[in-house]
Amino acid sequence: MQVLEQAPALEEVGAGIQIPPNASKILAALGLEQEIAARAFRPQELETRMGQSGQQVFSIALNAKTLNHWGAAYYHIHRADYVAVLSAALQARAKDALVLNATFSHYQQTADAVVAHMTDGRQFLGDILIGADGLRSRVRQQILGPEQPRFTGNMAWRAVVPLTALDHPPPPNACVWMGPGRHAVTYHLAAGLVNFIGVVEGQDFVQEDWHTTGARHQAAADFADWHPIITGLIDKAEALHCWALYDRQTLSTWCDGRVVLLGDAAHPMLPFMAQGAAMAVEDGWALADCLAAQASHSPHAQQDIADTLRAFQNRRLPRTMAAQNASRRNMKTFHRSTVVSQLANYGPMWLGGKLAPHLVRRRLDWLYRYDETAVAIG
């Protein structure tokens, strides 16, 4: 196995990420839970609030009962720590697997093998090629032809701020703050840090680059008259990164013979449900499971590889499509503009949370209780 990565180094990325139970149960099955838990923060609740007043709309306690019901822990972790845990696990299993400075250009396949060509002329031969190369996947482009991602008109402000710098720290929860045409997400990380994301509609900023920063006054204007927790985070952030949000058509084909897509390359997901990376983790398990089953049944039957990759695609399509659609719907839910539409949407949420909190929790079962490690091979 080789992991071909275009970057010259696995460098630190200055942002956090949520690992929901559907992903953390896979990390546990891989034996990585201890390493993740040692570097992660465990939120106490999932909650939504009104961005300006701070009024809570609903919350779900992430207590032992809820987490037992969903079958695994909920973590918040710095992306650099997540990458460190995963790359150490890769190193332990396959010492020289990671090849840096390897920019994929195109592939060629025969009945027996596939060759990945790099832009610098190097070639890597393998049984299968997995295109886990993100939103702008070149592997996807070769399978399906040119098709540009669609800019959603949303941009995200992102910052990591030390808790000690804040006069008004956010609650120790995964908290979505909703408002007209925008929303914010706050959560704690380990080591006394807070992660902030502020998504704003109607933008013409189109860059996707982890290193691009924006002006504080602009972020402050986007969230002017919001709750002091939000304005305080913007005020105290050392750097405010900006990231344009793109989407793509939902695909029904992820493979071509010995080549298959995985993660954002197959099903890019708006970050409105914290599920993009989680779905890529689920994909990884499912693909390994399908390949292991194929190897144990017919290790030499070449045609089986294409069938196996298609079986993986068919196993994952309905779930990833549902998550993509739910993420798109959340944008509308979080960004309600008029008082009437806010009342019509948030009123029932608030009432449901008060009268039947278990039903609110149950609405997330399809996402968090799902266990890819328990899926039976058909």
Q: Which residue(s) pair with 189 in the sheet? A: 193
Among residues 263, 286, 327, 336, which is the contact residue for ligand FAD, using CB under 6 A? 263
Compute the least distance from the CB of residue 43 to ligand FAD, in Å: 11
Q: Which residue(s) pair with 175 in the sheet? A: 47, 186
User: Which has the closest alpha carbon to 258: 284, 287, 233?
Assistant: 287
- Closest to ligand FAD by CB, 72 vs 280, is 280
| 103 scored as a contact of ligand FAD (CB under 6 A) | yes
Q: Confirm whether 187 is a catalytic residue.
A: yes
| 264 scored as a contact of ligand FAD (CB under 6 A) | yes
Sign, CA dihedral 88-94-96-97, equals: negative
- What is the C-alpha separation between 45 and 175, in angstroms, rounded? 8
Beta pairing, strands 75-78 & 98-99: unpaired
- What is the C-alpha separation between 299 and 103, in angstroms, rounded? 30
Compute the least distance from the CB of residue 348 to ligand FAD, in Å: 26
| 104 scored as a contact of ligand FAD (CB under 6 A) | yes
Compute the least distance from the CB of residue 345 to ligand FAD, in Å: 23
Among residues 46, 73, 114, 156, which is the contact residue for ligand FAD, using CB under 6 A? 156
Compute the least distance from the CB of residue 201 to ligand FAD, in Å: 14
The residue annotated as part of the active site, out of 82, 107, 187, 368, is: 187
Q: Which residue(s) pair with 159 in the sheet? A: 196
Among residues 269, 286, 291, 306, which is the contact residue for ligand FAD, using CB under 6 A? 269
Beta pairing, strands 241-247 & 193-200: unpaired
| 75 scored as a contact of ligand FAD (CB under 6 A) | no
Select the span of 49-57, 60-68, 277-285, 326-334 touching ligand FAD (CB under 6 A): 277-285
Q: How far is CA 25 from the centre of its chain?
A: 15
User: Which has the closest alpha carbon to 226: 192, 200, 189?
Assistant: 200
- What is the C-alpha separation between 74 and 43, in angstroms, rounded? 7
Answer whether 70's CB lies under 8 Å from 60's CB: no
Among residues 33, 81, 133, 222, which is the contact residue for ligand FAD, using CB under 6 A? 133
| 330 scored as a contact of ligand FAD (CB under 6 A) | no
| 4 scored as a contact of ligand FAD (CB under 6 A) | yes
Binding-site ranges for ligand FAD (CB under 6 A): 4-7, 17-18, 102-104, 132-134, 138, 156, 158, 197, 243, 263-265, 269, 271, 274-278, 280
Give catalytic residue positions.
Answer: 187
